[in-house]
Amino acid sequence: MIVGTGIDVVDIPRFAETLERTPGLRTRLFTQAERDLPMRSLAARFAAKEALAKALGAPVGLAWTDVTVERGEDGRPHIVMQGTVQARADELGVVHVHVSLSHDAGIASAVVIAES
């Protein structure tokens, strides 16, 4: 059963400017494994984290670095949760999360579906 859905869109150039303008933001938003990815990939991962938060009801207190968006052996993205995010998913009975990422024409987007 679907517990929640989320979608987010990120303007890649604007996101890049924000990361450049705000020292430390990259560290607060992304795990070590994500930080050195190309900007379009960072923007898509940020969109996925936002979309996941929406799918989980956007509660206060979720830590951005408690979510990692990884690329599977098959090339498809998947979400790894821990800490505050995993606790919220457990609270809602989420056992599987689907994620789709895209980036084109200066826009990155993500859709997340959380299932019980």
Match 């990155």 to its residue by tokens.
Answer: 108
C-beta of residue 84 within 8 angstroms of C-beta of residue 62: yes
Q: Count Cβ atoms within 10 A of the Cβ of residue 84 and give its class: 0-12 exposed, 13-18 middle, 19 or more buried.
A: middle
Q: Are 55 and 20 in contact (CB under 8 A)?
A: no
**Bridge partner residues of 81 (DSSP):** 67
Tokens 């923007």 correspond to 43
Binding site: what residues are annotated?
8, 50
Annotated binding residues for Mg(2+), as ranges? Answer: 8, 50
| Secondary structure (3-state) at 11 | strand
